[in-house]
Amino acid sequence: MLTGLFSTARDLGRLQDIASVLVRYGFGDAVRRLGMAGALERAGKILHWTKAAELARLTPPERARHALQDLGPTFVKLGQILATRVDLFAPEWIEEFEKLQDRAPPAAFGEVRAQMFQDLGVAPEDVFMKFDSDPIAAGSIAQVHRAQLADGTQIAVKVRRPGIRPIVEADLRLLARLAEILETEFPTLAHFRPREVVRQFTLTLRRELDLAAECRNAERVAQSFRERPEIAVPKVWWDWTGERMNVQAYIDGIPSRDLEAVDRAGLDRRVLARRGAQAVLKMVIEDGFFHADPHPGNVFYLPGNRVAFIDFGMAGHLSERRRDELSELLNGLVERDSESVVDVLLDWAGAAQVDPEKLTIDVDGFIDRYHGVPLNQLKVGEMLADMTVLLRDHELVLPPDLALVLKVCVTLEATGRELDPDFDMAGEAAPFLRAAVLARRGPAVLAKRGWRALTAALEIFAELPQDLRRILRSARSGRLQVHVDLTRLSRFGNQLDRAASRLTAGVVTAALIIGSSIVMTIEGGPALLGLPLFGLLGFLCAAAGSLWLLYSIWRSGRGE
């Protein structure tokens, strides 16, 4: 199945590499079921795995994490995306996916320099007064070098790994086909929506490959915080920024994970926690555009209790409607309004088969579990984690954009409590949520929505006479057609058609047997092996028809 996807020797080689890694970590059966038997056979000849005892001690999530790590940058990024899907995977899987570090050995500087020469038109030394050939950070997609402009400004130059795009595109083709096969060959995985996950991942990864897009995201966030100097976003130098390279201000701050350095610098942990939380909540709830990966490596603390965010390669976007739904959900959780929570979850369920009564009962129990807990003691991260268990129990899947938000909220509270054990995430979120709900129900917004609805209704009424005239004209001319698409009825019709075909074949076979028996009793005519030729041919045709009937019934019994 998968081998038919690849048209070049490079892709076939990549398929063999993937099969080797999967077999190494105990996924040989999955390789066979995915139609990679040929690659599996070749992998078995070249695979040298001597750590069988160590492998046996690994849990399935650990084996999956190791396999993704060995498969390379595309699959490492996939694992990082899966780490955000707390609505799909149990905590032990999320914990392993979160261990996937986007780190890799740096690319040879000669290759990096040659690519920079192509993008800049001149050598890097002719543009930057100083340029460190050793990167300060190296990931699977790009690496960062520290440099200095002629005026002494310290900058960070991010360069995409040379030759990375063809590898990523080959992996994305594989993943797209793989997702289709998973949904058909592994029905138990269908509720994970692998095709939708891969589609969203493809969009995210392709945006991350464009380093100029990262800078556009950064400037959009910086514009939102232009009147809040306590939040810093690196400045961009567009003269030297493009798809394969970007240049931003170097943030010389304290990494958020280094709490001892925070204390030595005399910074106020409580202020840092509040400012960081308020910044993220503003991005998510007010702006609808947010930093989707605010892990400790992307957050720095600056003098004056300022908070800096870097690396906007992964950004999330929420439409106005989605922000309204999110505000209703979070406000319902904080205010213990189970009806609002159920309404939002049913809207998100879409066409999924959900029992509303059972969902309401479970949500009531979920809300009641946190009843009476003071707001400043309410742990939003734990509450959201419990909610994801409820979602998985009902096989509800969050929209991909909201899955990112859920992960951001959990990360935000964890970071806040590391800074300040008394950090009140619910208290910080409550004003934003109330403002969002009030704005949604305010007179101006209601009037605007009412005007839109009235305008749409008037347009429909205005076009109604013309539409009716077209329908009547089509009916008079005999061109009016009504199409009814009933999938189940069509399937039933196919079953009737197959049954009728078998019945007809059975009648014809019986007629051949009877007619041939009569012909065999008649003397004269051509003979074969001492038997009447036409009677013998009739029996052979009857035998063929019987075999076809048996085979058709056998296939039907196997569900084919």
Q: How confident is the model at residue 216, as a pLDDT?
A: 95
Q: How confident is the model at residue 6, as a pLDDT?
A: 44
Instruction: Please list the alpha-helical segments (H only) found in 313-424.
Output: 320-334, 338-349, 356-369, 380-393, 400-419
Categorise residue 231: left if φ over 0, alpha if ψ from -120 to 50, beta otherwise: beta
The order of strands in the sheet holding 254-255 is: 231-232, 306-309, 299-302, 254-255
Q: How confident is the model at residue 153, as a pLDDT?
A: 94
Q: How confident is the model at residue 549, as a pLDDT?
A: 72
- Cβ atoms of residues 125 and 131 within 8 Å: yes
Q: How confident is the model at residue 554, as a pLDDT?
A: 67
Q: How confident is the model at residue 524, as a pLDDT?
A: 65
In the chain the first and final C-alpha atoms are separated, in Å, by 18
The pairing of strands 245-249 and 299-302 is unpaired
The pairing of strands 231-232 and 306-309 is parallel
Tokens of 224: 């939102």
CA 24/CA 18 separation, integer angstroms:
10
CA 485/CA 247 separation, integer angstroms:
55
For 496, half-sphere exposure in the C-beta direction (CA atoms, 13 angstrom radius) is: 6
Q: For 435-453, give the DSSP string.
A: HHHHHHHSHHHHHHHHHHH
Q: How confident is the model at residue 155, as a pLDDT?
A: 95
The pairing of strands 231-232 and 254-255 is unpaired
- Cβ atoms of residues 225 and 233 within 8 Å: yes
Average pLDDT, the chain: 78
Tokens of 135: 């990167």
Q: Which of 104, 429, 110 is nearest to 283 (CA)?
A: 429
Which regions of the chain are under pLDDT 70?
1-16, 19, 22-57, 87, 101-103, 188-192, 334, 349-353, 370-378, 380-381, 440-442, 444-446, 449, 483-497, 499, 502, 519-520, 523-525, 527-531, 534-535, 554-560
Q: How confident is the model at residue 235, as a pLDDT?
A: 95
Q: How confident is the model at residue 525, as a pLDDT?
A: 67
Q: How confident is the model at residue 519, as a pLDDT?
A: 67
The DSSP symbol for 282 reads I
Q: Give pLDDT tens digits for 241-269.
A: 999 999 999 999 999 889 999 999 999 99
Strand-pairing partners, residue 385, are none
The pairing of strands 531-532 and 142-148 is unpaired
Q: How confident is the model at residue 12, as a pLDDT?
A: 59
CA 296/CA 260 separation, integer angstroms:
14
Confidence (pTM): 0.68
Instruction: Please list the alpha-helical segments (H only) found in 121-193.
Output: 124-127, 164-185
The DSSP symbol for 85 reads -
